[in-house]
Structure formats: C-alpha cells, structure tokens
Structure 1
Amino acid sequence: MSPISLLPRSLLLRSTISSASSLFSASRSLSITSSKRTSTPPSSSSPSPAKPVYTPLATAKAQADGAAKVDGVVLSETNKAEKTYGRFWKAVNIKHTPEGIQILLDARPLRTPGGKPLLIPSNRAPVAFLIANEWENQKQILKNHALPMTSLATRALDSLAPTATSSEGLGQSKTHSEVCAALLRYLGTDTICFQEVRQHGDLVKLQEERWDPVLDWVREEYGLEVKVHDSLFSSRQPPATTAKLAEIISNYSSWKLAAFERAVYTTKSFLLALALVEGRLTVEEASLASHVEVDSQIRLWGEVEDTHDVDFQDVRRQLGSVKCFLIDSDATESNAA
C-alpha cells in the first residue's frame, strides 16, 4: 500500500504543507546546484560504454596488486560508494503495528544505527510518511545528507530516548542531560544577543526586523530578563534566566530535544531554536533570522554565487526537517476539529 494512502486528509493542513514545502524546496535547490557543479558536457554521437561490474574478487586483486584500475576504469571513492551504498530495495512502504509505524524497504523494516527498530509513534504518521519519501528518493547511491528526517528519528531513538530506572519506570538518559547542558552553553554566546549598536546601516535594520521580535517574545512568554550585548565581555545572561530556560528544555521529550538540538546547531542560536520549536517562528522566518549577518554583507558587497545561496538553502532544509519532525497528527486533528 502506498504511504500516501495511509494518511488521513485532515493532516494536510496549511502548517504541515508549509513546513514540508520548505524542506522539499530547499532539498530540490541543493540538488539542482549539485547537479550543475558535477554535470559534464554531453559526449559526441558515440554511445557511452557499459558500466563495469566491480566484483569483490576483481577489486581485491587490483588492490593487492597496487593497481589503480579495475577493468580499465580508475577506482575512486565514488565507485566504492556505488558498490557499498547503492540502492538495494525496489519499493518503500509504511506499516502500522501496535508498537508504532514501521518503514519497510521491500519487506525489511528500517533499523537505527544502534540496531533498534525504527518505530515512529502512531501520532506522528506524517513523520513516517516523510521518512518513507526520503528513502524512495534515494535513486542510486545512498546519500546521508538527503535523509534529514531519518537522522532526527535515529537520534531520538538511539541517544535521547528514556531509559529504564530501578526506582521509577522510565527516566531521562544520561545523553539527554548532557545534550541539554551542551545546548544551554549556546545561550551565553547566542547570536541574537550580540548586536551592533554603533552604526545605522543594513545590519542594524535587519537586527531590529528579525531579532528583536524574538527577544520580545521570550521576555513576554516566559517573564524573563534577556540582555543584549555589544561586546564579548560580560556576556552572561542572568542566573534566573539561565535556570528557567534549562528547566524548559530538560522537560522536552526525546523527539522534541532532537529537533531543538538540530535547530540550535543550525542557527547558532538558543533563542531562535526555542522560538522555532515552540511555534513562534516559521521555517522561513527562522532561516532569515539566522542569516542576518550574511544578508547585511550581501547587501554591501553582493552575493557569492554557489556559496551564500547554497548555504541558505541548506539552513532551510535543516530547519524544515525540524518543523516537520514536530508534527503531531493527534494535535493537528484536534485543532482542525
């Protein structure tokens, strides 16, 4: 059965479509750019030679002999990748089970790098659909960077999932606590808390447009004091602010923490990531807010083709996966009703 047919129509709401659209459009832009970089001019009328088959025996013999070719073709990392990470499945499907939703490559269920079954909670059917879509779009070589949803799910299941404790059911894993502590350190050097105040150019205007609304939201939503600095010295936030924000993320589920972690590392900002996962910012707004310094330089000096634009699309792809990963079908259906 096709993965699409298993999704209720009520899930295709505007917020879901917007987040998925950002993810897919960014991925498509990156794919087009990659193709432009690696494409070669078409050859003349002569037909292309048949693709050689690299048997393990031929490859081993060539390596033992120190040869650089097998069957007349130079061995390369790409050739090895095609042999090792090539697509081995014909169809991708999803299957509902009492434990959750499985993604099947032919009849084989996906597993995490840690060996656990990749089981998606039943209330996250859109996530299962998007993971299945990622694997369906792996054409020849398995590309890890094209599996953002899969990597978030494996992070949540392998490293951040609750663990059994002797005294009380399930408790937070050690990694969960360590990740929270590591992410909290970004608060002390948060991008949007260091602002230029000595000039009146594009940078200051962009800060006011994209950063100040987020700072105001944090102050109003949580009743916290958030300081803005113009120097690297004395840049700490008040202890009460740090303690409150630490409490907030320590209560995140493994799924939400995995999404928050990616958002922090992508934006280099604790507060932008918080606004994204809590629904204050859209993917596009968070992407633009994380790009303030670069955009100010582009306005001043111009854009470097295949660098600034590619970097921005990668940010959109990463943050799009974060937003999609947090879709809860139960909550979506409840809001729709």
Structure 2
Amino acid sequence: MRDQLEDAEKHRDDGYGRSQKRDFKADLPKRLYKEVAVEPVDGGFTVTFDGRPAKTPGLRLPVIVPAASIATTMAEEWAAQGERVDAETMPTVRLINSAIESGEAMVPAFRDEVIKFVASDLLLYRAEGPQTLVAEQEAVWDDALVRVARHFGVSFQPTAGIIHQEQPKATLAKLAAALEPENLLVLTALVSITGLTGSGILTIGLWHRLFTPDHVWLAAHVDEDYQISFWGADEEAVLRREKRRREFDATIKVLDALRN
C-alpha cells in the first residue's frame, strides 16, 4: 500500500496521483449504515448498525466485548467513517476483530510470541558505539531491566552487538508463567504492543504496571530518537510512527478497560 501511495505522489503533477487517490478511496467499501450504537448482550456489549449487531469481517462471528468502554470506542470509530469505510482508521475495531477471529486456540501461541521477543529482546542488544548512544541505552534500558528483574525475581544477559545471546531458561519460564492467566483479548493486545515496540520485556512490564505507556514508548524508540537527533526526521518515517502511536494508544485503552 505504501508503495502505491509513493508512486502516486511521484506522479502528482501530471494528474496521475490525483486519479490514483480517487481510485484508492473507491476501492474501500461503502458505508451502508446510518446509526451506530452500543447495546448490552449476553456476555458483554456489542456495537449495532441501525440495530444490527456487529460481526467480524472474515468469519462473520459476533463481536462481543466484556467492557462497555471498549464497545463505545469501537462505535466511535465506526461512526467517524465517511462515505467509505477505512479499516486503517479503526485500530480498536481491527484489534478486537483479530482476537475474535483468532479464537481461544491461539492463546498458547500468543503467549509464546511475547516470550519469543523476550528471548531476543530489543532491550538486550546494545550498540557498540557511539558512546552517546550506548549511554542513552544504558540509562533507559537498564532501568527497565532492573524493574522487571526485581519484580519477577529473574535475570537478563544483555550483550553488545548482534550475536545471539541466550537468556536464562528460568527467566523465560517465569515470564511465560506470568502470562499464563491472561485471556484471549489481553494476549491479543499484548502481542500488538510487543510488535509495535519490539520488546516483550516492556510489554510484560507495562501489563504489570511497572512502566507507564509513555515510558514504554520512549524506551522502544531510543535508537530512532538518537538518529533523529543527528539526521533529523524523515517525513515518511514520522507518518509511520504517528500511525503506530495511534495503534499503541488504542491498544493501551483496551488493556486499561480489560484490567478494570
């Protein structure tokens, strides 16, 4: 998709770009509903479209969430759509639909996904230079590792460079056990946070209230922020980061609702 938009931008002056953007919008499904509401149902809450309950786009499964606030956010995302429905502008809807269509059978795989990141975590692979970057990583990442290590009674083995460093099996086992009680929706959200940050350690720490969301976001972007401080921000990279932050914030909101 990004390649298509870049190509359209290159041809903007000859009119091609404008036609491509129109075609892109035309490919989106039309909005076929007028009123969006939230209704209580057995098992929680659902979003309705002109009185019809929501279903997932692929398997057509009922969309029922345990918290009214989650359903309200989804309804707001649906209501904000124009003549065409763009799923990219609905991070909460996409997250919940993904969880429901994945199904309970994916719970062990989602736990394993977070732990797989822990085993080769962003926070464990440090730059060998320059010293200013090394110092920044140590200041932010060491603090995060210490918090998680103390809370769970584990240890980590950071390394400089990109050569794989095995992490203690006891550490991975304890952190996996910490995810054992979590349900499908929680784990779907945690996998999303892990993918957006590149860190299972930050994700687990966030869920256990060891970090604030802003702390996690800062720690996940130490390297990127360092590069920006030297070379400036690339416009396209800024847009990608803003989109990821919106997804991150939406997922945090879901986690907060599930926690409460």
Distance 1:198 1:297, change over 3 A: closer
Q: Scaled by the length of structure 2, what TM-score is found? A: 0.85
> Is the 8 Å Cα contact of residues 206 and 213 (structure 2) preserved in structure 1?
yes
Structure 1 residues 79 and 103, CA gap change in structure 2 (3 angstroms): closer
Q: Hey, what's the Cα distance between the residues in 2 that align with 1:294 and 1:74?
A: 32
Distance 2:141 2:86 in 1: 34
Superposed counterparts of 1:1-337, under 5 Å = 77-78=23-24, 80-82=26-28, 85-112=29-56, 113-121=58-66, 124-161=67-104, 173=105, 175-196=106-127, 198-201=129-132, 203-304=133-234, 306-328=235-257, 332=260
Whole-angstrom CA distance in 1 between matches of 2:187 and 2:59: 19
Query: Quick check: 2:33–2:49 contact (8 Å CA) kept in 1?
Result: yes
Deviation at 1:77?
Answer: 4.1
Give 3-state SS (helix, strand or coil) of 2:37's partner. Answer: strand
The Cα shift of 1:197 comes to 5.0
Shift in Å at residue 285 of structure 1? 2.0
Q: Please report how far the alpha carbon of residue 189 of structure 1 lies from its aligned counterpart in structure 2 after TM superposition.
A: 1.8
Pick the structure with greater CA Rg: 1
Q: 1:197 to 1:88 in 2, by over 3 A?
A: same
Mapped to 1, the partners of 2:53 and 2:238 lie a distance apart of 37
Change in Cα spacing, 1:284 to 1:315, as seen in structure 2 (3 Å) is farther
2-structure distance, mates of 1:94, 1:75? 33
Alpha-carbon deviation of 1:297? 0.7
Instruction: State whether residues 113 and 191 of structure 2, in contact with CA within 8 Å, keep that contact through their aligned partners in structure 1.
Output: no
CA distance in 2, matches of 1:116, 1:160: 10
Cα shift at 1:100: 1.6
**Deviation sequence 1:174-233 (CA, Å, 0-9, x none):** x222232233221222111111255421x2243134322211111110000111111333
Q: What letter corresponds to residue 318 of structure 1 in structure 2?
A: E
Q: Which has the higher relative contact order, 1 or 2, with Cα contacts under 8 A spaced 6 or more apart?
A: 1
Q: Distance in 2 between matches of 1:230 and 1:149?
A: 37
Partner SS state of residue 95, structure 1: strand
Letter of the structure 2 residue corresponding to residue 137 of structure 1: A
Q: For 1:120, give the aligned amino acid.
A: V
| Secondary structure of the structure 2 residue equivalent to 1:104 | strand
How far apart, in 2, do the equivalents of 1:232 and 1:205 lie?
Answer: 18
What letter matches 1:292 in structure 2?
V
- Could you say if the C-alpha distance between residues 182 and 75 of structure 1 is closer, same or farther in structure 2, counting changes exceeding 3 Å? closer
**Amino acid in structure 2 at the alignment position of 1:107:** G
- Say which SS state the counterpart of residue 92 (structure 2) adopts: helix
Q: TM-score, normalised by structure 1?
A: 0.66
Q: Quote the residue 2:4 is aligned against.
A: none
1:237/1:138 CA distance change after superposition, 3 Å:
same
Secondary structure in 2 matching 1:236: coil
State how far apart, in whole Å, the 1-side matches of 2:163 and 2:20 are: 55
Equivalent position amino acid for 1:291 in 2: H
Following TM superposition, by how much is the alpha carbon of 1:322 offset from its aligned partner in structure 2, in angstroms? 1.7
Residue 98 of structure 2 aligns to which amino acid in structure 1? R
Q: Which runs of 5+ in 1 are unaligned?
A: 1-36, 42-72, 162-172, 333-337
Larger helix proportion of the pair: 2
Asked if structure 1 preserves the Cα contact closer than 8 Å seen for 2:127 and 2:161, the reply is: no
Are 1:183 and 1:261, in contact at CA under 8 Å, matched by a contact in 2?
yes
Q: Deviations over 1:304-333 (max 9, x none)?
A: 2x223223212321211221111337x65x
Aligned mates of 2:64, 2:70 — CA distance in 1 = 11
The DSSP-based 3-state class of the residue aligned with 2:159 is coil
- Over 3 Å counting, the alpha-carbon distance change for 1:315 and 1:286 in structure 2 is farther
Number of residue pairs the alignment of both structures matches: 245
**Separation in 2, partners of 1:75, 1:178:** 38
